[in-house]
């Protein structure tokens, strides 16, 4: 069974399923869901918990051993299996399939994974785990839905805020749910229940934005000049190495140039996206929206600009590298 995150809490009031599979790109949400399952297990008499973390040198026979070793006091047991890489390998995949076939019998298994690509989702071990119990995908909300997510979290502590205050928080945490969570908790400590004002929020929220290069690439595709400027300022302030920023931007421009050239020659965009190894659905959609705006001439000029920035970084040409990054970004987001 595959659930939405909001379907999990009420289901945990019922007898537990033999297996829970949690995966997604937001560690905070995965951690919170795992905590809910562990708490439900304690309430329902699962007195023993054994934690297994898959890393270098991990022996997969320890999973079968954990399933076979019941508590000395006869209680039920929770196996907390964590696979940080999301890649169990061949031996691990076979062990997970065997475990899924024998799930139950006084044991609940909780498997936590990071974000998985499409190949991992089609793997036999992933299918076996999903079929044996309940799977929940826990991804960060899209940026446009972040104010709604923040409003929901405020409601949990009996608080609310106007739309402009929710947008203010969202802008200042830049998609970092852990930072947003901390700011929401702080608002709960600083102010009582009820409606917060814009001033309440502005006074309490710190600028704890997590500026990362992937967000810069996405904002370029979306054609958002204000966000591009803010992200570049953040990357500069955090001391990010210019060659890393240039690599990310140049790589994105080359991908777009190849796609544009392929479409112009009559090839189908889905096939071109596959050839460029663009599998993330959100990025695919952003590229499809950006393609009409980014003409071949624009992309050729952007590649030449990126080459100039490379010379600036190496000291072979004059200029301020961060100003050049901003000019390159504005060239790409111009409508």
Rounded mean pLDDT of 309-325?
A: 91
Question: What pLDDT score does 238 carry?
Answer: 77
Whether residue 84 is found in the same domain as residue 128? yes
Instruction: Report how far apart, in Å, the C-alpha atoms of 303 and of each of 93, 141, 201, 294 are.
Output: 43, 32, 42, 13
Question: What pLDDT score does 243 carry?
Answer: 86
CB 69 within 8 A of CB 85: no
Q: What is the CATH number of the domain that holds 162?
A: 1.10.8.60
pTM for the complete prediction? 0.66
Residue 101 scores a pLDDT above 80 = yes
Q: Which of 117, 137, 157 is the last residue of a domain?
A: 137
Question: What pLDDT score does 206 carry?
Answer: 63
Q: What is the CATH number of the domain that holds 109?
A: 3.40.50.300
Domain that holds residue 247: 213-333
Task: For residue 209, count other CB atoms closer than 10 A to its CB.
Answer: 19
Rounded mean pLDDT of 39-48?
A: 92
Looking at the 3D structure of the chain, how many domains does it have?
3
Whether residue 187 is found in the same domain as residue 244? no
Whether residue 200 is found in the same domain as residue 265? no
CB 124 within 8 A of CB 97: yes
Whether residue 181 is found in the same domain as residue 219? no
């Amino acid at each position: 069974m595959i659930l939405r995150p909001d379907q999990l809490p009420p289901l945990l009031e019922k007898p537990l399923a033999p297996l829970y599979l949690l995966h997604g790109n937001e560690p905070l949400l995965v951690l919170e869901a795992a905590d809910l399952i562990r708490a439900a297990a304690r309430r329902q008499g699962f007195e023993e918990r054994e934690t297994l973390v898959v890393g270098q040198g991990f022996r997969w026979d320890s999973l079968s051993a954990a399933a076979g070793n019941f508590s000395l006091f006869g209680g039920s047991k929770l196996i907390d299996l964590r696979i940080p890489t999301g890649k169990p390998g061949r031996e691990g995949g076979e062990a997970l399939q065997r475990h899924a076939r024998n799930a139950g019998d006084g044991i609940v298994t909780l498997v936590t994974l990071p974000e998985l690509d499409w190949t991992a989702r089609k793997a036999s071990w992933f299918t076996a785990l999903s079929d044996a119990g309940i799977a929940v995908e826990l991804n960060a909300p899209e940026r446009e839905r972040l104010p709604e997510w923040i409003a929901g979290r405020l409601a949990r502590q009996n608080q609310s805020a106007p739309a402009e205050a929710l947008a203010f928080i969202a802008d200042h945490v830049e998609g970092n749910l852990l930072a947003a969570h901390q700011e929401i908790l702080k608002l709960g400590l600083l102010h009582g229940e009820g409606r917060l004002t814009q001033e309440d929020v502005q006074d309490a929220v710190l600028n704890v934005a997590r500026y990362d290069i992937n967000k810069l690439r996405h904002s370029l595709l979306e054609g958002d000049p204000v966000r591009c400027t803010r992200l570049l300022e953040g990357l500069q302030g955090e001391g990010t190495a210019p060659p890393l920023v240039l690599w990310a931007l140049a790589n994105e421009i080359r991908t777009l140039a190849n796609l544009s050239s392929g479409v112009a020659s009559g090839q189908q965009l889905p096939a071109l996206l596959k050839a460029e190894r663009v599998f993330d659905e959100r990025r695919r959609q952003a590229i499809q929206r950006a393609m009409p705006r980014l003409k071949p001439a624009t992309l050729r000029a952007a590649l030449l600009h990126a080459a100039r920035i490379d010379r600036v970084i190496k000291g072979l040409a004059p200029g301020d590298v961060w100003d050049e990054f901003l000019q390159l970004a504005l060239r790409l987001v111009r409508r």
